[in-house]
Amino acid sequence: MKKQPSSASSPLNANYKSADGSKILMYPSDVGINVQQASFILFARHSVSGAKVKPQKKAPKVKPIMKNVEVDDDETHQVIDTKATKAAQDKSDINHEAKEGNVAGRGGANKGGASTALLLQKQNIKRTGAFIGLYMPPSVNVSYSMDYSEAEIGVMGEALYGMFKDYQNNTSSEDSMNKAGATLSPALVNMGVGIIDKVLPGAKDLAAIERGTIITPRTEMMFRGIGRREFSFTFTFIPKDDTESEIVHEIVQEFKEGMSPSFKVAGSTREMTIPDVFSIQYMHMSGQNQYINKIGKCYLKTMEVTYGGDKFVTYNPTPKGAPPQKTNITLAFQELEVMDRANIKDGY
Amino acid sitting at position 268? S
Amino acid sitting at position 16? Y
What's residue 234's pLDDT?
Answer: 97
For residues 130 and 250, the answer to whether their CB atoms sit within 8 Å is yes
Angle at 271 between CA 266 and CA 276, to 5 degrees: 125
User: pLDDT means per 10 residues in the chain (348 residues)?
Assistant: 40 50 87 86 91 62 84 76 86 69 63 80 85 95 91 60 56 53 56 64 74 75 92 96 94 97 85 94 92 96 95 92 96 95 94
* Residue 36 CB neighbours (<10 A): 9
Rounded to 5 degrees, what are φ and ψ at 233? Answer: -135, 140
For residues 35 and 251, the answer to whether their CB atoms sit within 8 Å is no
What's residue 4's pLDDT?
Answer: 42
Q: From CA 156, how far away is CA 188, in angstroms rounded? A: 8
What's residue 15's pLDDT?
Answer: 43
Q: From CA 112, how far away is CA 8, in angstroms rounded? A: 37
Q: From CA 308, how far away is CA 311, in angstroms rounded? A: 6
pTM metric for this prediction: 0.69
Q: From CA 137, how far away is CA 107, in angstroms rounded? A: 26
pLDDT in tens, 243-298: 999 999 999 999 999 999 999 887 788 899 999 999 999 999 888 999 999 999 99
